[in-house]
Amino acid sequence: MALAGDTPHAFTVRYHGRGAAARDESHLARSLAERYGVRFTIMDVEPDVRDIFEPIVRALDEPHADQSAILSLISEAVSTEHKVALGGTGGDELFAGYRRHLGVHRLKRFLRTGGATAARALRGTRRAGARLVH
């Protein structure tokens, strides 16, 4: 949106509590917002399960043990100023943004650099070994 000439308003959530500091990505979000000249707001969330459990269950029709359920709180806060909000939840998974996805990147590189030939050879070796065992 920023590249199209609009000045969007980006929000990010910063959780508080045990272990939250290690997973805080608000500095990355701020850096990206500054890069594109985006209006930026950090929302500090320290949810109390007693206050939010029932509204979340009512909205989702079932208990939900994932922090993405907090999005209802964010939507509520954003709605005071905006009618539409686009969420970014799931982007890390979609674009392989976690360390556990490094194997996928390495496999793609392996296959691009002639790994397909090596992979076929390994499969053939595996089949030959399986015949010897049986």
pLDDT 10s digits, 73-118: 778 778 888 888 877 776 776 666 677 777 777 777 777 776 666 6
Instruction: Say if residue 80 is in the same domain as residue 102.
Output: no
| Three-state DSSP state, 24 | coil
Q: Say which DSSP state 42 is in.
A: E
Rounded Cα distance, 125 and 13, in Å = 51
Which segment of 3-17, 34-48, 49-63 scores lowest on mean pLDDT? 49-63
- What string of DSSP letters covers 94-121? HTT-SGGGHHHHHHHHHIIIIIHHHHHH
Q: What per-residue confidence (pLDDT) applies to 103?
A: 73
Instruction: Say if residue 70 is in the same domain as residue 103.
Output: no
* Tally of structural domains, the chain: 2
| Residue 2, domain extent | 1-89
| Three-state DSSP state, 83 | coil
Instruction: Say if residue 103 is in the same domain as residue 53.
Output: no
Closest C-alpha among 51, 38, 41 to residue 74 = 41
pLDDT greater at residue 103 or residue 126: 103
Instruction: Say if residue 83 is in the same domain as residue 118.
Output: no
Which segment of 30-34, 48-52, 117-121 scores lowest on mean pLDDT? 117-121
Instruction: Say if residue 21 is in the same domain as residue 37.
Output: yes
Q: Which two tokens stand for residue 47?
A: 């949810």
Amino acid at 108: K
Instruction: Say if residue 74 is in the same domain as residue 130.
Output: no
pLDDT greater at residue 76 or residue 119: 76
Q: What per-residue confidence (pLDDT) applies to 5?
A: 86
Using 50, 70 and 90 to split pLDDT, how confident is the model at 131?
A: low
